[in-house]
Structure 1
Amino acid sequence: MASLPIFITAVANSADEPSFPLLFTWSTHDAEIKEVLVTPDDDWLHSAAVESNIQNIDENQLYEFGYEAGDILSEWTSEFDTDTVYALQPQNLALLVEAIFDSKGLEPTFEVLDIYDWFLERGLDLRNEWSALGNPTPLELMPPDEQIASLLQIAAENELIEAPEREADYD
């Protein structure tokens, strides 16, 4: 079986002028969802601030619970065996991914492509599918983990991916 695509989203330091990430959320090839707060690089904070955001993430949380860029890149390197990942807002996400790589003097090892195009290439209009499910909140405004879970669910329900079987919990 081919591995599942990687769906990724992020929360940026600013909704108007994103320049660095506060949080990344992504799916794995096993259809798990991972989420990590990002400890800001000192250079990022010299040029931009952590503004109010939809997840209510503040700078203190980032320093207390966040992970350094190098740790995030190590995890991505071990998990992403692909040269493409898919996002709802690929231009913004690519900028945030580049910030992580750039903080370590590296070039991104994968390209961020449009998730809507991924669904269209498989014959499904994601916007129509989301509307048909009766969700009043736009997908882009959902919490990051719910965005990724919804994308995986829509893809699986429309047989665009085959989610791995879970082991049953036998007590």
Structure 2
Amino acid sequence: MSTPRFLDIEYCQTDDALFPTAIAWSLGDGRMKTVIIAPDDDWLPADGDLGDVDLNYLEEQGVPLLELVRELHQDLPDQTVYVDGFDPDEILIDKLFGAVGQEPPFEIAPIAELITGLDIDTLEDQRRQLMIDEGLEPQLPENGVYALLLLARGEGLLDG
């Protein structure tokens, strides 16, 4: 069995906007990558209201979409990538790849499809507890991926 891959996306959601702002994913060797995302102009609402999201930060620190998509193609080809299952991850991935006219090279599945011995509520409770125990800030995508890696390791799905 190959090492499961995990992904978490932070996003901006207002009445008029829903788009990814940061993404983290795990690699086959257990390392992680984290990227701030430079938003596509088409994602931004006409009224400019992004709630508490700092557009200047995203534009200055963010990676261009084409570069990010290229990296995801390199790192996650033909993979099933597991997410916590509580965010609109599929919509966000489609938005990300759609902005550059491509299809995602991977399939997204909730962690409950990987860890089948526990129901979704128990998985979420354990994930939340791991975040608290490890002192992880939930709004950072790398922390979401780390918590999923710890969950999988706890279930014997990872080495180490």
What's the TM-score bracket when you normalise by the shorter of the two chains? 0.7 to 0.9
Show CA shifts across 1:115-153 (max 9, x none). 123211xx24524544776948xx994532222112212
Residue type of the alignment partner of 1:152:
L
In 1, distance between residues paired with 2:8 and 2:143? 10
Q: Provide runs of 4+ in structure 1 moved above 6 Å.
A: none
| Cα distance change on mapping 1:114 and 1:92 into 2, 3 Å | same
Report matched runs for 1:38-49 at 5 Å.
Answer: 38-46=37-45, 49=49
* Counterpart-to-counterpart distance in 1, 2:84 and 2:17: 15
2:29 aligns with 30
Gap change, CA 1:157 and 1:22, over 3 Å in 2: same
Amino acid at match of 1:67: V
Question: Would the alpha carbon gap of residues 49 and 10 (structure 1) be closer, same or farther in structure 2, given more than 3 Å must change?
Answer: farther
Q: Which has the higher strand share?
A: 2
SS of the residue 1:20 aligns to = strand
> In structure 2, what is the Cα distance between the partners aligned to 1:87 and 1:17?
25
> Post-superposition shift, 1:42?
1.1
Matched residue count: 155
> CA offset at residue 113 of structure 1?
0.9
| Distance (Å, rounded) in 1 between the aligned partners of 2:29 and 2:17 | 30
Tell me: CA distance 1:90–1:21, structure 2 relative to 1, closer, same or farther (3 Å): same
Structure 1 unmatched ranges of 5 or more: 164-171
For the 8 Å contact 1:84–1:112, the answer to whether it is kept is: yes
The answer as to whether partners of 1:88 and 1:140 remain within 8 angstroms in 2 is: no
- Corresponding residue to 1:86 among 79, 82, 86: 82
Distance 2:2 2:153 in 1: 13
2:140 counterpart of 1:143: yes
Partners of 1:149 and 1:82 in 2: CA distance: 22
* Match of residue 154, structure 2, among 154, 157, 162: 157
Structure 2 alignment gaps of length 5 or more: none
1:76 to 2:72 alignment: yes
Tell me the TM-score normalised to structure 2 length. 0.80
Q: TM-score, normalized by length of structure 1?
A: 0.75
Quote the RMSD (CA, aligned, Å). Answer: 2.9
Q: Percent identity?
A: 30
> Rg bigger for which structure?
1
